[in-house]
Structure 1
Amino acid sequence: MYKLAFFVPAEEADTVKEAVFASGAGRIGDYEACCFQTAGTGQFRPTNGADPHIGRVGELEYVQELKIELVCHETLIHDAVAALKKAHPYEEPAYEVWRLEDL
């Protein structure tokens, strides 16, 4: 089992979550579309060569984002990350993957 966490602009979170859930991620027992989300403020500065979805090259940008956390079976984690990257509005989405132990 893995845990997948990613950061996404709040207004686009549902679209990205649905794509990740469609890969089979976010299932716990007899439940699907399970996740936890936390609101926060992300920041970044696009550099030369970037094509930012939000903001301008060379300017520091602050965005209201959600951190979405969910679990994913090991056979689905690569598909879940691929779905995340395809659906995410940023050209370089920030995400984390951890292997979990079942105790």
Structure 2
Amino acid sequence: MSRICELTGKGRQVGHNVSHANNKTKRTFLPNLQNVTLMSDSLEKSVRLRVSTHGLRSVEHNGGLDNWLVKTSDEKLSLRARRLKRDVVKKRAAVAA
């Protein structure tokens, strides 16, 4: 399973461990991913996603999962999140009409 946030697209970064003697060895920085269950208000169901803590804070800041999905571009989202976004947009359009 790849270490990529399903909402923000945040993945691993590559850098160096630097010793006291200034020797550099490759290392990876992994995002802080958590398995969370988020509630979709318009779909009235809960969704399990693997989200970084930064992404989780962003979702809460934007007022919930539905608002976050509508505002975010499809390139950042995973396949599951894109499908969820499509369902949310359909449901909102049906309610508005």
TM score, norm. by length of structure 2 = 0.29
TM-score, normalised to structure 1, is 0.28
Instruction: Compare the two structures and name the one with the higher helix fraction.
Output: 2
Higher strand share: 1
User: RCO (CA 8 Å, sep 6+): is it higher in 1 or 2?
Assistant: 1
